[in-house]
Amino acid sequence: MCLLGVATAGAQSVRVVSEFQRFGPFGEVLPVDRVDQPREILSPALARNAYTSFRIVVNIAAETPYFLYVQSNPDNLFEMTLYKEIFIKAGDQWIPDALEPAKIPTFGMLPYPPSPIPGQNTVSYWLDLRVPADAPVRRARLEVLLKVGNRWVTYPMEVRLVEAQPPSIQLTGAKLPTASERADSAVYGPLGGYLCRSQESGAKEERLTARALVRRNALQDVALAKALEKKLGRNAITGEILRRAGSQKAKDWCRSHTTPAELGAEWYLRVRDWLYRQSEQATGSTAVH
């Protein structure tokens, strides 16, 4: 349905991608984040007592007003927060990084007055979904809608509220990777804290960035991993994470805090998938797949 909506919309389109796929102002994934088979966001899993984040990519012609709306059915099942991603110049490329709060629904038009980019035809938004701890395990409908003139383009999803429920986390300051590094780089601090028993250093950036929220989401996953240790054991969990990170031994990974380039920017999603599955098995639930 979403592909049909994009195809019939001519120059206008809307799509939802993972937090590890950044699109530049001209409609292409940043080269550093590019993967051969990006994750399709059609039926994503949402942990309870946690945030799940996506990027919404809008392709639009210049000087064409648009209206962007996000809705769920049932209403008020989770909290939704929308940010507009502000592009910054790094070398010869533009990178979406700083986050500016946006209302739902939101309106816009290119060029963006505060910082116009010649030839820009793409706008990127960051969508935060927070599921309360007491939300039921169930399916729900989530739609991203783009209206241009009299035409509507819809990106429909069936989200799955799953058993996974990370303990609440306390956000602390930490030095973040630069915006020009791969989108998954912000998970290495929290992951290093868990796998290597190391501590992140540095102060929190004053301006809210996508990198900071990628790190926040990884901290949630680490909290979930720790909670699963009683059931699975720490060694089993670290072994599975390392395998998905392309490493066999923690000491080897801890020397570099990086993963092989061929794993691509979305490799970390497989770690999260595994943690969610283990949460379901730990409770014996088979309600949502």
Residue 279 pLDDT greater than 70, yes or no: yes
What is the end-to-end Cα distance of the chain in Å, rounded? 21
Structure confidence by residue, pLDDT tens digits, 207-227: 999 999 999 999 999 999 999
CATH classification for the domain delimited by 2-161, as one of 2.60.40.10, 1.10.3720.10, 3.40.250.10, 3.30.420.40: 2.60.40.10
Buried b (16+ CB within 10 A) or exposed e, 20-38: bbbbbbeeebbebbebeeb
Which H or E element spans position 59? strand 50-59
Range of lowest pLDDT (35-44, 56-65, 213-222, 275-284): 275-284
For residue 287, with 0-12 CB atoms within 10 Å meaning exposed, 13-18 middle and 19 or more buried, which class applies? middle
Domain residue spans of the chain? 2-161, 183-283
3-state secondary structure (DSSP) of residue 257: coil
Residue 140 pLDDT greater than 90, yes or no: yes
Residue 1 pLDDT greater than 70, yes or no: no
Judge contact between 140 and 12, C-beta under 8 A. Answer: no
Residue 83 Cα to chain centre, angstroms: 12
pLDDT band at 8 (very low <50, low <70, confident <90, very high): very low
